C-alpha cells in the first residue's frame, strides 16, 4: 500500500549538479558544509569525525567528511568521490564531483556532460586560475547554462567586499566572452558563511545563499516545443519471432511525433508517414515526445538505417553537408592533425572525418588565441573546419543542442568533443540537392526492399569495377554477369556506353570534356544504378580511373553501403576500395574473389 | 516524465546502442532483481523480444529456486539462454563449501574464472535448445565482445566509478584511473581487437528505483526476495553457502519498497548478507578487477 509520503518521494524532482574548480579551491569543503548544514549526513557522522580529529590533534575540516564517507563505501553508504547525494526542501540533488586537477579533464567533462547545472568554486585569495577558466569554457561547450560561481575562502581575505568584486568582475567578463552568465556567491566553506544561511560577516552581501541559488535553478523540461528530431538508432525486424513489424527505433531528442505525421529522414531525404508509435508493456498511445525511447512503424516501406535523423516535414529541417565549422576541445595526448582520418559521431551517425582547417586555437587556460597553429593539441580548444567523408545531418548547437554536438574518435578512443556552429557549403552540394529532391519525391510501391531481398536471396548491390584503361575491366564485368546469372542471381551488367549515348545524349552532344561534364555523367549513371538497385539487382558497372571526387558523386547519389569498389590493375590507387585485383588476371579467379567478397558482406548468401 | 521514466529511457537507449555497435553481444543474467529488471528493459528496447543471448554463470551452489526460475522464464520468454561453469574446479572439489578453499578463492574460481572463460569461449558453453527443451553444448565458441552487466553505482564504491561503456583488456583488466570520457550520450563503442567492453545500463538506478520499477511494471521475481512467514528474506541473491537472508517482514514488492523508504535498512549495506564481501578489506573491488561483476 502506498502512503501519501511515499507518493511524494517518487514525485520529488531530481537534479544532477557538477562541482568544478581548481585544485585546493575548496570543493570538498563546500560539499562537506552543504551536507552537514542540510542534515544530509548519516547520524553521528559529524561528531565522529570531529572526535577523530580531536584525538589526533588535527583541526577539523569539513572536507574530511567526504573522505570519511569515501572510506565507508564498502559498508554500503551510497556516497563516492564521484557522486554525493543530498536533498533540500525543494528537491533531491546528486553532486557530481569533478576532479580539479588538469590530468582529470576527461573525468570532468564526463561528469559535467551528465549535469544540468554547475557549481564553480574559485578561491577568493588565489583568484581566477587557469582551471577556473578552462572549466568555465568546458561547461559552456557542454551546454550547461545554469552556473553558480562560489567565491570561497572569504574568511582568508577578511571578508573583503572589494576582493570579491574584483574576482566577480574578472570572471564575469571571462564568462561573457564564452556566452555564459552566472550567479556569484561569496562564501567561506570552512566557516559556513552564505552556504545554507546568510552570514552577518558579509552584511554587504544580500543575495541568495549557495543552497538558495541552486534551488533557484530550473529543471529543464524535455524540449517538446522544438522541431522533432529522432536520430535513428536502428531498424528492427523480428520476423523469425513471428513479428511482422518493421520498427524504426530511437530516442526523441526534441519535439514530438504523432501517428499520421509525415517524416523525412536526413541526410537521404527519404519520406514516409508514421503508421504507429510502438512501446512494450504500456497501453497503445498515438504520440510520443522528447525524452522517450520509442519505436515507429511507417506507412511507406522506405529503406532507412542507423545514423539518419528523422524530422517532420511541417517543421524546420536539419542541415546536411560534409563541411562543418565547429568549436572543438581535444583530450588526446597526440594532437589532432590534418591529413589523418578520424571518426566523428553526431547523433547516431558515425562517419570518417578530417581536420580541414584550424581557424583559431585558444589555450584553454587563458583563451589567448593563436592563429598560426595547424593542429589541435592536448587540452586545446579550437575553432576549426571539419570535413566528413559523406554528408551528415545535424543542427546548429545553439538551436538544437542534442543534434548539434559531436565527439571525435581516434584509435578507438573518444579524444575530442565539441559543438557545431555552422554548416559550410561543400562540393557535393549540387548532387545532393538533386538526390534529396529525388528521394523526397520518390514513390514507393508495396514491395519493400526486404521483401525483394527475401525473394531473390540477395541484397541489391553495385559492383563498381574501376582501374586504368586496358586492364580488363569490361571482360571481367561481363564474365561476372554471366557467372552470377548461371548461378541463379538477379544480375545485370550496365555498359557505360549504353548510358553515354542515351541518358547522356544531351550533354554528350556538346562534345566538351570538362570536369563538370564528367561529374554530371557520373551522376546520371549513379541515378540509373539507383533505380536498378531499388529493383533488387546486383549491378555490375565499369568506369575508367575513378578518383575520390568521382566516387563521392556516386556515393551521394547511391547509398554508399550498397557500393563495392573493385580496383583492377597493378597501378596503386588512393581511392578506398573493397577489393584489389591484378590487371588482366584469370577471369575465373577474379570472379571468385568478387563472389567471396559479396558473401562475406552478406549481400549474397552462401553457398 | 517522472524519474523512473527517465531512467528507463536512458537504459533503453544504452541497450540499443550496445545492440547496434557490438557484433557479438551478450547480457549477463544473475537471476537477481537488477539483472532481471535489465532483462525486462531489453524487452522494452526490442519491443517484446530479447535478441541478445543471456549468459548465466552457474556455480552449482545457487539456491535451487533460482535455477528453476531461470529455466521457467527461458521457456516462457523464449530466451536465448547460455550458461557456463567451472567444471574442473567443481570436479576437483576446489571450493569453499567442500572445505578446500576460502570464500574469495571460491568466488574467483567459480565466478570470475568461469565468467572469463565462458565469455572468451575457451570453456564449453551450454545453450538452451527450445526444440528439445534442454541445454546442450553450444557449438559456437565465438568470444563475446560486448557484455551487458546490471551493476548499479549505488551498490558499492568500485561500481560507482564505472562508465556506461567500460573497456576491459585481453586480461579482463579494468583501469579505473584511466577510463574513457563519456560525453552526453556518446559512449566508447570502438575497441581494439582482443578486448571487450562491459556495458552498464543500470548505473543510475538505486535499489529503491529497482523495486519501484518492478512494482510499476509487474516484473516476475524470485520468491526468495520475500518473507515466506519466517521473518526473513533475501535482499541480495548469491550462492547458498555464502548468502544469508536479512530479518524482514516484507512479504511482497510493495512491502519491500515500504521497508526501503522507511529507512529501516539505510544503515545496513545491501550486500551485507554476502559473506565474501567482508572477507578482506577491499574484497569486492579486487574481485571486480579480476573480472567479477
The distance of B116 to chain A (nearest Cα, Å) reads 23
- Contact between A276 and A296 under an 8 Å Cβ cutoff? The reply is yes
User: B13 vs A233: CB contact, 8 Å cut-off?
Assistant: yes
Chain B contact set for A106 (CB, 8 A): 180-181
Contacts of B40 (CB under 8 A, 6+ apart): B217, B219
Higher-confidence position of A62 and B112: B112
H/E element, A437:
helix A429-441
Nearest alpha-carbon partner for B82 in B64, B55, B111, B121: B55
Entry pTM: 0.82
pLDDT for A74 equals 39
Q: Is A35 helix (H, G, I), strand (E, B) or coil?
A: helix
Most confident of A2-11, A62-71, A193-202, B238-247: A193-202
DSSP string, B19-39: HHH-SSEEEE--SSHHHHHHH
Which of B4, B186, B191 is the closest to A412 by Cβ?
B191
Q: What's the CATH code, domain B3-205+281-290?
A: 3.40.50.620
By three-state DSSP, how is residue A193 classified? strand
CB atoms A281 and B43 under 8 Å: yes
pLDDT band at A2 (very low <50, low <70, confident <90, very high): very low
Residue-wise pLDDT tens digits, A222-267: 889 999 999 999 999 998 888 889 999 999 999 999 999 999 999 9
**Closest Cα to residue B237, out of B89, B35, B20?**
B35
Q: CA A252, CA A257: separation in Å to the nearest integer?
A: 9
Domains of chain A in start order, with CATH, are: 14-216 (3.40.50.300), 229-312 (2.40.30.10), 321-426 (2.40.30.10), 446-601 (3.40.50.300)
DSSP symbol at A273: E
> In angstroms, what separates the C-alpha of A299 from chain B's closest C-alpha?
19
Residue among B194, B195, B148 at smallest CA distance from B54 = B148
The torsion angles phi and psi of B96, rounded to 5 degrees, stand at -70, -45
Do A47 and A93 contact (CB within 8 A), yes or no? no
Nearest CA in chain B to A9: B261
CB contact (8 A) between residue A76 and residue B269: yes
Mean pLDDT (whole number) for A399-423:
93
Name chain B contacts of A409, Cβ cutoff 8 Å. Answer: 190
- Does residue B74 have a pLDDT over 50? yes
What percent of chain A clears pLDDT 90, i.e. is strictly above it?
Answer: 45
The residue of chain A nearest to residue B179, with distances taken between CA atoms, is A107
> Does A10 sit within 8 Å of B4, measured CB to CB?
yes
User: Who has greater pLDDT, B85 or A41?
Assistant: B85
Q: Say what angle helices A130-141 and A161-177 make with each other, to 10 degrees.
A: 40
User: Would you call A80 and B157 a contact, using CB atoms and an 8 Å cutoff?
Assistant: yes
Decide if B257 and A6 are in contact by the 8 Å CB cutoff.
Answer: yes
User: C-alpha cell of A490?
Assistant: 538477379
CB contact set of B266 (below 8 Å; sequence gap of 6+) = A42
Q: Which of B10, B20, B181 lies closest to A109 in CB terms?
A: B181
Contact A251, A230 (CB under 8 A): yes
Which of A73, A292, A295 has its CB closest to that of B9? A292
Contact B45 A234 (CB under 8 A): no
Please give the helix or strand (H or E) that residue A453 lies within, else none.
helix A449-456
If one compares A556 and A588, the residue with the highest pLDDT of the two is A588
Contact between A106 and B181 using a beta-carbon 8 Å cutoff: yes
DSSP state of B101: S
pLDDT given for residue A307 in this prediction: 94
Cell triple for A138: 568546458
| B205: nearest CA partner in chain A | A78
A51 band by pLDDT with thresholds 50, 70 and 90:
confident
From chain B, pick out residues whose CB is under 8 angstroms from the CB of A76: 155-156, 268-272
* Between A106 and A490, residue with greater pLDDT: A490
More confident residue, A515 or B188: B188
Domain boundaries, chain B: 3-205+281-290, 207-277
- In this structure, are residues A137 and A364 in contact, taking their beta carbons and an 8 Å threshold? yes
C-alpha cell at A213: 541559488
> What count of Cα atoms within 13 Å lies in the side-chain half-sphere of residue B271?
26
User: Mean pLDDT across the stretch A78-107?
Assistant: 73
pLDDT, one tens digit per residue, over B115-136 is 989 998 999 999 999 999 999 9
Cα–Cα nearest to A153, from A183, A189, A120, A127:
A189
| A53-67, A522-536, B4-18, range with greatest mean pLDDT | B4-18
Q: Torsions phi, psi of B71, nearest 5?
A: -75, -25
C-alpha A541: how far from chain center: 36
Burial of A517 per CB tally in 10 Å (0-12, 13-18, 19+)? middle
Cross-chain residue pair B9–A405, CB shorter than 8 Å: no
Closest chain A residue to B192 measured between Cα atoms? A412
| Chain A with chain B: Cβ pairs closer than 8 A | 153
For residue A69, is pLDDT > 70?
Answer: no
**Distance from B217 to chain A by nearest Cα, in Å?**
8
Mutate which: B17, B157, B218, B271, vs A, most A CBs within 10 A: B157
User: So what's the pLDDT on residue A78?
Assistant: 38
**How far, in Å, CA of A83 to CA of A18, rounded?**
9
- A564: which strand partners? A463
pLDDT surpassing 60 at residue A79? no
Residues with Cβ within 8 Å of A479's Cβ and at least 6 positions away in sequence, in order, are A587, A588, A590, A591
**What percentage of chain B's residues is helix, strand, coil (to nearest 5)?**
40, 15, 45
Closest approach of chain B CAs to the CA of A381, in angstroms? 16
Q: Using a CB cutoff of 8 Å and minimum separation of 24, what contacts does B68-72 make? A: B69/B31, B69/B220, B69/B222, B70/B29, B70/B31, B71/B128
pLDDT of residue B147: 94
Confidence of residue A274 (pLDDT cuts 50, 70, 90): very high
**Confidence band (pLDDT; 50, 70, 90) for A395?**
very high
Under the banding of pLDDT at 50, 70 and 90, the label for residue A607 is low
Mean pLDDT of A120-130: 89
Give the model's pLDDT for residue A537.
93
Handedness of CA B280, B285, B286, B290 (dihedral sign): positive
State the ipTM, two decimals: 0.91
Contact yes or no for B20 and A412 at CB 8 A: no
Q: Chain A interface, mutation test: which of B18, B163, B179, B181, most A Cβ atoms within 10 Å?
A: B181
Cβ within 8 Å of residue A387, ≥6 positions away:
A322, A323, A324, A353, A354, A356, A426
Q: How far apart are CA B66 and CA B240, in angstroms?
A: 10
From A301-305, A506-510, B179-183, the region with the lowest mean pLDDT: A506-510
> What is the C-alpha separation between A255 and A224, in angstroms, rounded?
4
Q: Does the beta-carbon distance from B6 to A10 stay under 8 Å?
A: no
Over range A187-199, report the average pLDDT. 91
Chain B residues whose beta carbon lies within 8 Å of the beta carbon of residue A82: 153, 160-161
Per-residue DSSP letter, A73: G
CA B195/CA A522 separation, integer angstroms: 42
Cα→Cα distances A109→A83, A96, B269, Å? 14, 11, 31
CB nearest B3 (choices: A14, A243, A412): A14
Q: Residues 6 or more apart from B129 whose CB is under 8 A from it?
A: B135, B136
User: Which value, in Å, is the radius of gyration of the alpha carbons in chain B?
Assistant: 18
How close, in Å, is residue A161 to chain B by CA atoms? 38
Nearest to B183 among A70, A110, A291 (CB): A110
* B225-260 pLDDT tens trace: 999 889 999 888 888 888 888 888 899 999 999 988
**How far is residue A430's CA from residue A567's CA, in Å, rounded to a whole number?**
27
Average pLDDT of the residues of chain A? 86
Question: For residue A142, what pLDDT is reported?
Answer: 86
Query: Mean pLDDT throughout A281-301?
Result: 94
Query: Which segments of chain B are extended strands (E)?
Result: 25-28, 54-57, 81-84, 126-129, 134-137, 146-148, 165-168, 196-199, 232-233, 246-247
Sequence-ordered list of residues with C-beta below 8 angstroms from that of A345, at least 6 positions apart, any chain = A406, A407, A408, A409, B186
Pairing of strands B134-137, A234-237: unpaired
Average pLDDT of chain B is 87
Q: What is the pLDDT of residue B134?
A: 93
Name the band, by pLDDT with cuts 50, 70 and 90, for residue A320.
very high
Show the cell assigned to A471.
586492364
A169: distance to nearest CA of chain B, Å?
Answer: 31
Contact A458, A603 (CB under 8 A): yes
Could you tell me where the DSSP H helices lie in A98-195?
105-112, 130-141, 161-177
| Closest approach of A221 to chain B, Cα-based (Å) | 9
DSSP secondary structure letter of residue A266: E
Q: Using an 8 Å CB-CB cutoff, list chain B residues near A343.
A: 190
Average pLDDT over every residue of A395-417: 93
Partner residue facing B17 (CB), from A12, A80, A233? A233
> At B14, is the secondary structure helix, strand, or coil?
helix
Kindly report the number of other CB atoms within 10 A of residue B211's CB atom: 23
Residues of chain A positioned with their CB less than 8 A from the CB of B13: 233, 251, 293
A370 pLDDT band, cuts 50/70/90, is: low
Query: Which chain B residues have a beta carbon less than 8 Å from that of A10?
Result: 2-4, 212
Predicted pLDDT at A447: 84
* Average pLDDT for A158-163: 94
Average pLDDT over residues A487-509: 79
Between residues A137 and A255, the one the model is more confident about: A255
The β-bridge partners of B126 are B83, B137
pLDDT grade for B284, boundaries at 50, 70 and 90: low
Tell me the nearest-neighbour CA distance from A1 into chain B, angstroms: 6
Amino acid at each position: 500500500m502506498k502512503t501519501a509520503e511515499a507518493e511524494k518521494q517518487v514525485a520529488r524532482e531530481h537534479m544532477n549538479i557538477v562541482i568544478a574548480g581548481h585544485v585546493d579551491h575548496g570543493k570538498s569543503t563546500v560539499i562537506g558544509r552543504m551536507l552537514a548544514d542540510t542534515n544530509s549526513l548519516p547520524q553521528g557522522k559529524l561528531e565522529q569525525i570531529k572526535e577523530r580529529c580531536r584525538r589526533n590533534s588535527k583541526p577539523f575540516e569539513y572536507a574530511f567528511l567526504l573522505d570519511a564517507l569515501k572510506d565507508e563505501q564498502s559498508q554500503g553508504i551510497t556516497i563516492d568521490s564521484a557522486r554525493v547525494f543530498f536533498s533540500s526542501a525543494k528537491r533531491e540533488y546528486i553532486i557530481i564531483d569533478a576532479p580539479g586537477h588538469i590530468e582529470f579533464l576527461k573525468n570532468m567533462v564526463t561528469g559535467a556532460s551528465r549535469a544540468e547545472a554547475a557549481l564553480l568554486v574559485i578561491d577568493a585569495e588565489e583568484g581566477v586560475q587557469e582551471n577556473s577558466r578552462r572549466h568555465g569554457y568546458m561547461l559552456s561547450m557542454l551546454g550547461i547554462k545554469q552556473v553558480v560561481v562560489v567565491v570561497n575562502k572569504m574568511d582568508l581575505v577578511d571578508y573583503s567586499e572589494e576582493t570579491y568584486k574584483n574576482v566577480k568582475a574578472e570572471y564575469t567578463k571571462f564568462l561573457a566572452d564564452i556566452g555564459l552568465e552566472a550567479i556569484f556567491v561569496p562564501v567561506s566553506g570552512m566557516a559556513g558563511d552564505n552556504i545554507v544561511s546568510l552570514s552577518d560577516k558579509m552584511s554587504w552581501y544580500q543575495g541568495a545563499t549557495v543552497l538558495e541559488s541552486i534551488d533557484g535553478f530550473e529543471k529543464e523540461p524535455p524540449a517538446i516545443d522544438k522541431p522533432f528530431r529522432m536520430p535513428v538508432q536502428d531498424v528492427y525486424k523480428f520476423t523469425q519471432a513471428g513479428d511482422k513489424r518493421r520498427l524504426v527505433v530511437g530516442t526523441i531528442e526534441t519535439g514530438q511525433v504523432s501517428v499520421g505525421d509525415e517524416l523525412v529522414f536526413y541526410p537521404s531525404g527519404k519520406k514516409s508517414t508514421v503508421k504507429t508509435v510502438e512501446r512494450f508493456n504500456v497501453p497503445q498511445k498515438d504520440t510520443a515526445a522528447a525524452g522517450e525511447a520509442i519505436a515507429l512503424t511507417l506507412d511507406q516501406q522506405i529503406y532507412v538505417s542507423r545514423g539518419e535523423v528523422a524530422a517532420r516535414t511541417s517543421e524546420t529541417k536539419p542541415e546536411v553537408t560534409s563541411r562543418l565549422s565547429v568549436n572543438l576541445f581535444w583530450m588526446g595526448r597526440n594532437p589532432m592533425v590534418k591529413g589523418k582520418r578520424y571518426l566523428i559521431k553526431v547523433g547516431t551517425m558515425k562517419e570518417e572525418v578530417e581536420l580541414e582547417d584550424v581557424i583559431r586555437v585558444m589555450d584553454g587556460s587563458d583563451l589567448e588565441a593563436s592563429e598560426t597553429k595547424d593542429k589541435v593539441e592536448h587540452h586545446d580548444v579550437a575553432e576549426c573546419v571539419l570535413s566528413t567523408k559523406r554528408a551528415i545531418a545535424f543542427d546548429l548547437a545553439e538551436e538544437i543542442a542534442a543534434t548539434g554536438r559531436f565527439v571525435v574518435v581516434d584509435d578507438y578512443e573518444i579524444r575530442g568533443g565539441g559543438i557545431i556552429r555552422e554548416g559550410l557549403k561543400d562540393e557535393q552540394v549540387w548532387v545532393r540537392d538533386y538526390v534529396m529532391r529525388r528521394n523526397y519525391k520518390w514513390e514507393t510501391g508495396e514491395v519493400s526492399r526486404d521483401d525483394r531481398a527475401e525473394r531473390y536471396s540477395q541484397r541489391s548491390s553495385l559492383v563498381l569495377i574501376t582501374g586504368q584503361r586496358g586492364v580488363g575491366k569490361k571482360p571481367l564485368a561481363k564474365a561476372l554477369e554471366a557467372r552470377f546469372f548461371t548461378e541463379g542471381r538477379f544480375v545485370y551488367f550496365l555498359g557505360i556506353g549504353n548510358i553515354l549515348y542515351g541518358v547522356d545524349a544531351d550533354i554528350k552532344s556538346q562534345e566538351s570534356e570538362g570536369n563538370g561534364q564528367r561529374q554530371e555523367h557520373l551522376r546520371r549513371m549513379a541515378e540509373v544504378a539507383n533505380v536498378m538497385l531499388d529493383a533488387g539487382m546486383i549491378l555490375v558497372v565499369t568506369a575508367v580511373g575513378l578518383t575520390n571526387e568521382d566516387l563521392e558523386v556516386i556515393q551521394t547519389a547511391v547509398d554508399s553501403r550498397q557500393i563495392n569498389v573493385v580496383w583492377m590493375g597493378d597501378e596503386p590507387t588512393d581511392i578506398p576500395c573493397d577489393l584489389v585485383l591484378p590487371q588482366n588476371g584469370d577471369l575465373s579467379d577474379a570472379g571468385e574473389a568478387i563472389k567471396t567478397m559479396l558473401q562475406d558482406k552478406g549481400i549474397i548468401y552462401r553457398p | 516524465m517522472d524519474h523512473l521514466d527517465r531512467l528507463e529511457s536512458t537504459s533503453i537507449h544504452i541497450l540499443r546502442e550496445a545492440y547496434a555497435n557490438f557484433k557479438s553481444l551478450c547480457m549477463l543474467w544473475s537471476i537477481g532483481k537488477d539483472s532481471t529488471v535489465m532483462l525486462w528493459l531489453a524487452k522494452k528496447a526490442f519491443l517484446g523480444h530479447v535478441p541478445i543471448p543471456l549468459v548465466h554463470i552457474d556455480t552449482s551452489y545457487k539456491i535451487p529456486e533460482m535455477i528453476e526460475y531461470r529455466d521457467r522464464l527461458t521457456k516462457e520468454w523464449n530466451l536465448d539462454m547460455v550458461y557456463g561453469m567451472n567444471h574442473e574446479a567443481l570436479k576437483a572439489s576446489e571450493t569453499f563449501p567442500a572445505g578446500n578453499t576460502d570464500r574469495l578463492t571460491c568466488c574467483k574460481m567459480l565466478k570470475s574464472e568461469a565468467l572469463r572463460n565462458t565469455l572468451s569461449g575457451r570453456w564449453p558453453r551450454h545453450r538452451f535448445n527450445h526444440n528439445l527443451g534442454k541445454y546442450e553444448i553450444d557449438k559456437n565458441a565465438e568470444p563475446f565482445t560486448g557484455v551487458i552487466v546490471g551493476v548499479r553505482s549505488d551498490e558499492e564504491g568500485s561500481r560507482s566509478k564505472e562508465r556506461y561503456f567500460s573497456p576491459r583488456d585481453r586480461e579482463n583488466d579494468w583501469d579505473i584511473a584511466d577510463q574513457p570520457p563519456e560525453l552526453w550520450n556518446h559512449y566508447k563503442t570502438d575497441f581494439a581487437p582482443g578486448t571487450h567492453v562491459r556495458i552498464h545500463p543500470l548505473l543510475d538506478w538505486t535499489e529503491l528505483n529497482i523495486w519501484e520499477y518492478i512494482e510499476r511494471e509487474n516484473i516476475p521475481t524470485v520468491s526468495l526476495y520475500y518473507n515466506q512467514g519466517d521473518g526473513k528474506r533475501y535482499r541480495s541473491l548469491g550462492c547458498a553457502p555464502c548468502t544469508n537472508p536479512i530479518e524482514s517482514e516484507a512479504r511482497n514488492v510493495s512491502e519491500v519498497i515500504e521497508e526501503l523508504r522507511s529507512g529501516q535498512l539505510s544503515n545496513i549495506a545491501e550486500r551485507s548478507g554476502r559473506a565474501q564481501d567482508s572477507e578482506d578489506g577491499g574484497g569486492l573491488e579486487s574481485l571486480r578487477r579480476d573480472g567479477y561483476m
